[in-house]
Amino acid sequence: MSTLWITELSAAAIGSDGMQVGTLPAINEQQVTFTGSAGRSSVLNTATRAVRLRADAACSIKAGDSTVVATAANTPIEANSPEYFRVTGGLFISVIANP
C-alpha cells in the first residue's frame, strides 16, 4: 500500500530565483492510501488555493467532485517528487498506482 501526502496551501508562488514555493503554515494536511484501486482524499478546505502532492510510489491523480476516481490515464506523479497544483477549495483528489 502506498501513500499520497496532500498539503493544502492558501497560495503558491514562484520565487525570484524561479523556485516554486508554497505559503506556510498549511491550511490542512491529508494522507491518502492507494494501490491498484483508487483512493480519494477528504474534501479540500474552501480556502485552499494550491496543493503540494508527494507520493511514495508512482501514481496518477485526478481532482473533481466527491465521485472522482483516478485511472492510470490521468496526470502522472513520480515517486518522491513533490508537485504543486493550483486548485479550488471544495474539490477531492483521487489517486491510483501507476507502475
Tell how strand 28-34 and strand 20-22 pair up.
Answer: unpaired
> Residue holding cell 508562488?
13
The model's pLDDT over 57-99, given as tens digits with 9 standing for 90+, comes to 999 999 999 999 999 999 999 999 999 999 999 999 999 999 7
- Answer yes or no: is pLDDT of 52 > 80: yes
Overall average pLDDT of the 4-11 stretch: 94
Q: How far is CA 97 from CA 34, 42, 68, 71, 78, in A?
A: 7, 18, 15, 8, 10
The pLDDT value recorded for residue 87 is 94
The model's pLDDT over 15-32, given as tens digits with 9 standing for 90+, comes to 778 777 778 899 999 999
| pTM, full prediction | 0.90
- Answer yes or no: is pLDDT of 39 > 90: yes
